[in-house]
Amino acid sequence: MKELYSAEDIATTVQRLGAEISADYPAGNVLLIGVLKGSFIFIADLIRAIAVPTVVDFVSLASYGSDTASSGIVEFRKDLDMSITDRDVVIIEDIIDSGRTLETLCHLLQQRRPRSLKVCTLLDKHARREVPIAADYVGFSIDNGFVVGYGLDMDERYRNLGTICLLPQS
Ligand code: IMP
Ligand code: MG
């Protein structure tokens, strides 16, 4: 495995994203929606880098089986606990690949009439996009390849790595 981003690179980027979000919502009351499971470590660090009051909730969707290529099928596994109507919402994703997961989630959440809806992703594989969707806050832009660590998995493995690594092509 090749290390792409060190723990220090990640910490610096998470601080930058936290500062950007804090600056955009000076009044606070932001509702962060973590997309499980991949974003759990990212959101844990990110909320501590945001200086304004935030609230956290989680959803779980699945677009991947045990494969490393998108199936194109998005499944709702866990819904939000809270209402997002008239709230400022920021979706927190680990990585955007085809964009299908996020497109489905944004569509579902827009129907509940949030005041605003933005997206923050740690990693963006923009060249692999199959649907036109963009994040408002991007940590790192990467090329093709499958990455693991810092919450991201391959078949549930490697989430515990403190760095972000590129898996060798199989
Ligand atoms: P999309 O619907 O194709 O954009 O897929 C997004 C989801 O697939 C992400 O939230 C991840 O859970 C997973 N995923 C996509 N690429 C990678 C990767 O390189 N490593 C780990 N998970 C990935
Ligand atoms: Mg995910």
Exposure b/e, 9-29, CB count within 10 A at least 16 = b: ebeebbeebbeebbeebeeee
pLDDT digits (tens, 9 = 90+) for 36-84: 999 999 999 999 999 999 999 999 987 655 444 555 567 778 999 999 9
β-bridge partners, 75: 62
pLDDT digits (tens, 9 = 90+) for 130-159: 999 999 999 999 998 999 999 999 999 999
Residues with CB under 6 A from ligand 1: 38, 63-64, 70, 93-102, 146-148, 152
* Cα 14 from Cα 71, distance rounded (Å): 30
Band of pLDDT at residue 101, cut at 50, 70 and 90: confident
* Cα 152 from Cα 40, distance rounded (Å): 9
Architecture of the 8-145 domain: 3-Layer(aba) Sandwich (3.40)
Minimal-distance CA residue to ligand 1 atom 17: 146
Ligand 1 centroid to 97 CA: how many Å? Answer: 5
Ligand 2 centroid to 162 CA: how many Å? Answer: 17
Domains of the chain by residue range: 8-145
Measured CA angle at 166 (ends 38, 142), to 5 deg: 75
Residues with Cβ within 8 Å of 31's Cβ and at least 6 positions away in sequence, in order, are 54, 55, 56, 57, 82, 84, 87, 88, 89, 90, 114
